[in-house]
Amino acid sequence: MKLSTRGKYGLYAMYYLAQHQGEGPQSLQSISTTGVPKQYLEQLLGNLRRAGLVTTVRGAQGGYQISQSPGAITLLDIMDAMEGPIELTECMTDETRCDRACGCPVRHVWQRLTDTINSELAQITLGSMLAHPCEGEALES
Amino acid sequence: MKLSTRGKYGLYAMYYLAQHQGEGPQSLQSISTTGVPKQYLEQLLGNLRRAGLVTTVRGAQGGYQISQSPGAITLLDIMDAMEGPIELTECMTDETRCDRACGCPVRHVWQRLTDTINSELAQITLGSMLAHPCEGEALES
DNA sequence: CGAAATCCGATGAAAATAGTCGGGTATCGA
DNA sequence: TCGATACCCGACTATTTTCATCGGATTTCG
């Protein structure tokens, strides 16, 4: 189970915008960190905008801003915008694809796992990430 | 975030083998349910065998059996065998790929999510799935 | 008007996934 | 011994997804 680079880049971008909240529109140029192609990032920011997570200002001196306070934006919001909703198997969303009904214990397991992941993602906000800028393994008080 | 069919088919196969534990080797033919190509499933069972989750008997009347009691086999075992370990980003396993050190709060978030998923997968065993054959939403006692 | 910057669809390259094929090998039973 | 059964295995193909790249259109500031 892997995450695509979309999710990763998307979070990096959102984190950057959260750090620079209130400083006016941030240009694509400034958001793009080393190793992330600017034109690709542009696409991804389009997804974030269409999902309502960022607002944009077009034209010269334009750029991107987060649309809400960092505390209100969860990792679930970002992942849904970048990778679509978590859908471990089709039988979760498309009923017709599963000939096993309620009797399918496998289905139950996928559902449980999906719920767990979504719940975890929903608990992490950009605000909480900003609050703990260096919470690494080396820093246990 | 999606699961590949490998993981899905693999779990179906393991569940079937758990149901028929002690009944002798189960042929590929009997394991294969509708919609799962037999030759593809054969490959997948090879992964499960190499991971030590199933044992095989070659030749006529041969087939596949689970190698341990269903209670001892977790979903994590099966997923690791079928899809490899969970690796949301490369920076979790390949240190050189991440220029951000402990100061990277994004990294911390991926780690937390990985731990959560692994922990959940490790708690679900084939045995527990067998014990609740029809635990659907419609059947709250 | 011209530069700065986002917007957008189309296209291409690379990788992962899903599935197929053909032959090899081991075992059972007659 | 022979043939049928059934797993083993590497190579190949097709499809899909991912990861970009490109070129131009549009908007806005100064």
Residues 6 or more apart from B128 whose CB is under 8 A from it? B71
What distance in Å separates the CA atoms of residue A27 and residue B74, rounded to the nearest whole number? Answer: 48
Residue nearest to nucleotide D10 (CA to C1'): B43
- What pLDDT tens digit does each residue of chain B (141 aa) get? 888 899 999 999 999 999 999 999 999 999 998 889 999 999 999 999 999 999 999 999 999 999 999 999 999 999 999 999 988 876 666 554 455 555 577 888 998 999 999 999 999 999 999 987 554 443 333
Instruction: Name the 3-class secondary structure at A128.
Output: helix
Helix axes A38-50, A75-83, angle to 10 degrees: 110
Chain B window 102-131, residues with Cβ within 7 A of nucleic strand C = none
Residue nearest to nucleotide D3 (CA to C1'): B60
- Residue A116 touches partner B, C-beta closer than 8 Å: yes
For tokens 């919609």, name the residue.
Answer: B35
pLDDT digits (tens, 9 = 90+) for A74-102: 999 999 999 999 888 776 665 544 555 55
Q: Which of B103, B118, B74, B109 is nearest to B89 (CA)?
A: B109
Tokens encoding A135: 């919470």
In angstroms, the CA of B40 and the C1' of C28 are apart by 26
**C-alpha of B73 from chain center:** 9
Q: CA of A122, closest CA in chain B: separation in Å?
A: 11
Residue ranges in chain A modelled with pLDDT below 50:
96-97, 135-141
Contact A102 B12 (CB under 8 A): no
In angstroms, the CA of B18 and the C1' of C13 are apart by 44
Closest CB from A3, A129, A132 relative to B89: A3
Phi, psi of B56 (to 5 degrees): -125, 155
Residues 6 or more apart from A130 whose CB is under 8 A from it? A15, A18, A19, A70, B105
Tell me what pLDDT residue A95 has: 52
CA distance to A38, B6, B104, B118, B139, per residue, from A107 (Å): 40, 15, 36, 18, 15
For tokens 């396993």, name the residue.
Answer: B93
**C-alpha of A28 from chain center:** 18
| Chain C: bases < 7 Å from a protein Cβ | 2-10, 16-22, 25-29
Instruction: Name the 3-class secondary structure at A54.
Output: strand
pLDDT digits (tens, 9 = 90+) for B72-107: 999 999 999 999 998 887 666 655 445 555 557 788
pLDDT over 70 percentage in chain A:
84
Residues of A in contact with B12 (CB under 8 A): 106
What length is written for chain A?
Answer: 141
Tell me what pLDDT residue B107 has: 84
Handedness of CA A73, A77, A81, A82 (dihedral sign): positive
